[in-house]
Structure 1
Amino acid sequence: MSGLRYLRCLEGITRREALRFLQQRGRFFSALVRPLVWLLIFASGFRFVLGVSIIPPYQTYVMYEEYVVPGLCAMVLLFQAMQSSLSMVYDREMGSMRMLLTSPLPRWWLLGCKLLAAVLVAVLQVYAFLLVAWFWEVRPPPLGYLLVLPALLMAGLMLGALGLLLSARIRQLENFAGVMNFVIFPMFFASSALYPLWRVREASPVLWALCHANPFTHAVELIRFALYGRIEPVSAAVVGGAMLVFGALAVLAYDPAIGGIGRRGAPPNPA
């Protein structure tokens, strides 16, 4: 099979995801308003100066709004990943992906195209949020807006791969909301998105250990450091490793010989 067909598949899935996003304006505004509401509430309730080492080895004092914005950027990626996995459940059962999964193209490529298209849409939403936050006087270094792009892509791919893995195990849309409540909220609140890890450690060492083991925490830290022009190597390694693990498990889960995706709805064995 020629490489042109692979590229055509990538273009088609990306274009479809973009058109779906443009046609569902409520999806864009909900993704934009949600972090802004969180920023408004937490900025009003916790408007104080944090002495945190965002850029090692320097001690940097930042306002709470500047600290929490990277966490809210990661929240945009997280919710977009879960929404994409929700659409994947629908498409797999009765939409376009039902036909694409039976095409000659390998499933890892189809899933990768779907994942990449969803991540590109999520990154656009993050930059729209950063633009609004700029008017909120949350203004990282200008170069940080460019340097944060690889961090956003890595974090988005990791969370999107997790969403694909979850979508492979969900057979009915009615079960999706319950599963997401056990994924989104624990991942978000048990992280450094809203509070520094050193303050969490002072409050509860057990909760600190859970936050430190949470891949979403490392996605937040990766974005936070990149937004200020630095690299957090530990977080980059954790996010990259989790991305590969979640992606490999998702491909295996969508393998009809292993995950059983292709056998759903098949006629019963006459024997």
Structure 2
Amino acid sequence: MNAALIALRAIVLREALRFVRQRGRFVAALVRPLIWLLVFAAGFRAALGLSITPPYQTYITYEVYIVPGLCGMIALFNGMQSSLSLVYDREMGSMRLLLTSPLPRWWLLFCRLLASTAISILQTYCFLAVAAAFGIQLPVWGYVAVLPALVVAGIMLGALGLALSSLIRQLENFAGVMNFVIFPMFFLSTALYPLWKMAESSTLLRDICALNPFTHAVELIRFALYGQFNGPALGWTVLAGTVFLGLAFWGYDPARGLLRRKG
């Protein structure tokens, strides 16, 4: 147990130091959702009408609606950024060195996942603070209630990145994976539009959005920001995270996964 905690501390500290030294990564994590909030939302404010749907008790502006989705965007991009760093570490050899530790491989990978989730949560709270400075007011208790939702969503999306990193053999292939994973997950979700708005366009599109794990992560965050519990969203997010984590452990198993294939 002591060795496991030492490994957790070392991995989290290493990822924290890497994040601190990569200032551009932190700035990009804030600029990306802020552009959507201040530019995209302003353009769609008059064009998109929103009805009163849970967890909202009254009509809201479009900027308020997309804040949970942008929180999910931060977790999603951070999970992919984590997978990129894993691929880089594997090419440089440091990942293989880590996995030769006498500790269980699943624990080492889980420590890396926890470190990525912690960074994602920090970025999200910084974004919420900047959004509040621009007039996006949320319930005060929501900033505390959303923490468990951010942890669950961050672990699920980080596990997705971990699973993808076990499939990406070269760093050059990462851009293609982003195009085929990140953008469909983000746009085919409730991050930008509610499901009833999707149904007005296409029932099939609405069903695809409802099956998207990212949709449930966003809704979990959305309800938590207003101090409400969304059981179905939590259940689907945990289920998706468990599947992604299982795929990641399988992918990094030298007896069956990528490491055996690369020899």
Per the normalisation by structure 1, the TM-score is 0.93
The structural deviation recorded for 1:51 is: 1.9
| Bigger mean CA offset, 40-49 vs 72-81 | 40-49
Q: Which runs of 5+ in 2 are unaligned?
A: none
The structural deviation recorded for 1:59 is: 4.5
The structure number with the bigger radius of gyration is 1
Residues 79-98 of structure 1 aligned to structure 2 (within 5 Å): 79-98=77-96
The one-letter amino acid of 1:52's match is: I
The structural deviation recorded for 1:60 is: 2.8
* Cα distance in structure 1, aligned partners of 2:172 and 2:35: 27
Question: SS state of the match for residue 136, structure 2?
Answer: coil
The one-letter amino acid of 1:99's match is: L
The structural deviation recorded for 1:165 is: 0.5
Alignment match of 2:154 (pick from 156, 159, 164): 156
Residues 94-105 of structure 1 aligned to structure 2 (within 5 Å): 94-105=92-103
Cα RMSD for the two superposed structures: 1.2
- 1:125-159 CA distances to partner (integer Å, 9 max, x unpaired)? 00000000001111111000000000011001000
Asked whether the equivalents of residues 11 and 112 of structure 2 are also in contact (C-alpha less than 8 Å), the reply is: yes
* Cα distance in structure 1, aligned partners of 2:78 and 2:44: 27
Task: Tell me the residue number matched to 1:45.
Answer: 43
Question: SS state of the match for residue 122, structure 1?
Answer: helix
2:223 paired with 1:225: yes
- 1:88-115 CA distances to partner (integer Å, 9 max, x unpaired)? 0111231422201111111100000000
Aligned length: 261
Residues 75-224 of structure 1 aligned to structure 2 (within 5 Å): 75-224=73-222
The structural deviation recorded for 1:262 is: 4.7
Task: Tell me the residue number matched to 1:269.
Answer: none
* Cα distance in structure 2, aligned partners of 1:241 and 1:43: 31
* Cα distance in structure 2, aligned partners of 1:213 and 1:229: 24
Residues 16-35 of structure 1 aligned to structure 2 (within 5 Å): 16-35=14-33
The structural deviation recorded for 1:263 is: 5.5
The structural deviation recorded for 1:260 is: 3.6
The structural deviation recorded for 1:52 is: 2.9
Question: SS state of the match for residue 175, structure 2?
Answer: helix
* Cα distance in structure 2, aligned partners of 1:31 and 1:82: 12
The one-letter amino acid of 2:127's match is: F
Asked whether the equivalents of residues 193 and 217 of structure 1 are also in contact (C-alpha less than 8 Å), the reply is: yes
The structural deviation recorded for 1:196 is: 1.0
Alignment match of 2:61 (pick from 54, 60, 63): 63
* Cα distance in structure 2, aligned partners of 1:263 and 1:178: 21
Per the normalisation by structure 2, the TM-score is 0.96
The one-letter amino acid of 1:147's match is: A
Q: Which runs of 5+ in 1 are unaligned?
A: 267-271
Asked whether the equivalents of residues 54 and 60 of structure 1 are also in contact (C-alpha less than 8 Å), the reply is: no
Asked whether the equivalents of residues 252 and 258 of structure 1 are also in contact (C-alpha less than 8 Å), the reply is: yes
The one-letter amino acid of 1:153's match is: V
Task: Tell me the residue number matched to 1:54.
Answer: 54
* Cα distance in structure 2, aligned partners of 1:109 and 1:52: 44
Asked whether the equivalents of residues 108 and 251 of structure 1 are also in contact (C-alpha less than 8 Å), the reply is: yes
* Cα distance in structure 2, aligned partners of 1:167 and 1:174: 12
The structural deviation recorded for 1:34 is: 0.3
